[in-house]
Amino acid sequence: MSLSSCRKSGFTLIELLVQVTIFGLVAAMLVSITFITLRVKNKGVADAEVSGQLNFIMQTIQRLTREATAAAVPNSSTLNLTRSSDTTTIALSAGVITLQEGAAAPVTNLTNSQVVTENLAFARIVNPGAPDTIQINITLRYNTNNPFSSSPRSLQSSVSLLY
C-alpha cells in the first residue's frame, strides 16, 4: 500500500477540525435555544400564577364588600366587613392574605405558597349621602429566587358597599 492511497481514503486534520467546529457551534446554539425556551416558559408560568391569584383575590374582596352593610379599615392592610351580625376580616399576615368570616371561624389563606404579597392596602372613602367606597391596592410577586421569574404585578380597584 502506497502513501498516496492512504491519503485519499481518510480525512485530513483540517477537515476534522472544520467538522468539529461546526458541530460545536450547532450544539452551542441548541443549548442556548433550550435555555431561552425554558426561561420564557418559567416566566409565563409565574405570570399566569400571579395573575390568576391576583384576579381571584380581587374578585373575592369585591364580592364580600358588595355584600357588606358596613366596613372599617383599622389599619391600611386590614379590612373589616360587617354582614348581618358577623364580621369578615381580610388582612395581610407575613406575606399571605388571610380571610376570617366570623369571630369563631378559622382563618383561611387566600394566597398560596407560590406567591408573596408585597402590598395589600385598603382605604375607606366616606361618601356623604351615598354608600362608602373601599379602595383596594394589591401587589403580588411569584415566590422564587430566580429574578427573571419574580416580576411583581399590581391591581387597584374600588368597590362600593350596597346599603
Please check whether residue 52 lies inside any domain of the structure: yes
Q: Rounded to an integer, what distance in angstroms lies between the CA atom of residue 89 and that of residue 99?
A: 6
* Number of C-beta neighbours around residue 66 at 10 A: 14
Give domain status of residue 79, yes or no. Answer: no
Q: Is residue 138 part of a domain?
A: yes
User: Is the model's pLDDT at 127 over the cut of 60?
Assistant: yes
- For residue 36 the three cell numbers come to 431561552
Mean pLDDT of all residues in 29-53? 92
The answer to whether position 142 is within a domain reads yes
Has residue 80 been placed in a domain? no
Residue 95 is assigned to a structural domain of this protein: no
Amino acid 148: pLDDT:
73
Range in 27-36, 119-128, 139-148 the model is least confident about: 139-148
Give the mean model confidence (pLDDT) for residues 15-43. Answer: 93
Number of structural domains, the chain? 1
pLDDT band at 91 (very low <50, low <70, confident <90, very high): very high
- According to the model, what pLDDT value does residue 115 have? 92
118 in Cβ contact with 150 (< 8 Å)? no
**pLDDT (tens digit per residue) in 109-126:** 999 999 999 999 999 999
Residue 19 has pLDDT above 90, yes or no: yes
Cβ within 8 Å of residue 67, ≥6 positions away? 81, 83, 162
Residue 89 is predicted with a pLDDT of: 93
Using a pLDDT cut of 70, give the percent of the chain over it: 94
User: For every residue of 34-97, which 3-state class applies, written as one string?
Assistant: HHHHHHHHHHHHHHHHHHHHHHHHHHHHHHHHHHCCEEEEEECCEEEEEECCEEEEEEEECCEE
Question: Which among 122, 78, 117, 119 is positioned nearest to 95, based on CA atoms?
Answer: 117
Range of the domain at 41: 3-69+110-160
Nearest to 69 by CA among 80, 88, 82, 87: 82
The answer, yes or no, to whether residue 6 has pLDDT greater than 80, is no
Q: Is residue 16 part of a domain?
A: yes
Q: Is 77 exposed, middle or buried (0-12, 13-18, 19+ CB in 10 A)?
A: middle
Average pLDDT along the chain: 88
**pTM score of the predicted model:** 0.78
Read off the pLDDT of residues 51-65 as tens digits, 9 standing for 90 and up: 999 999 999 999 999
Q: Is residue 9 part of a domain?
A: yes
Mean pLDDT of 36-60: 91
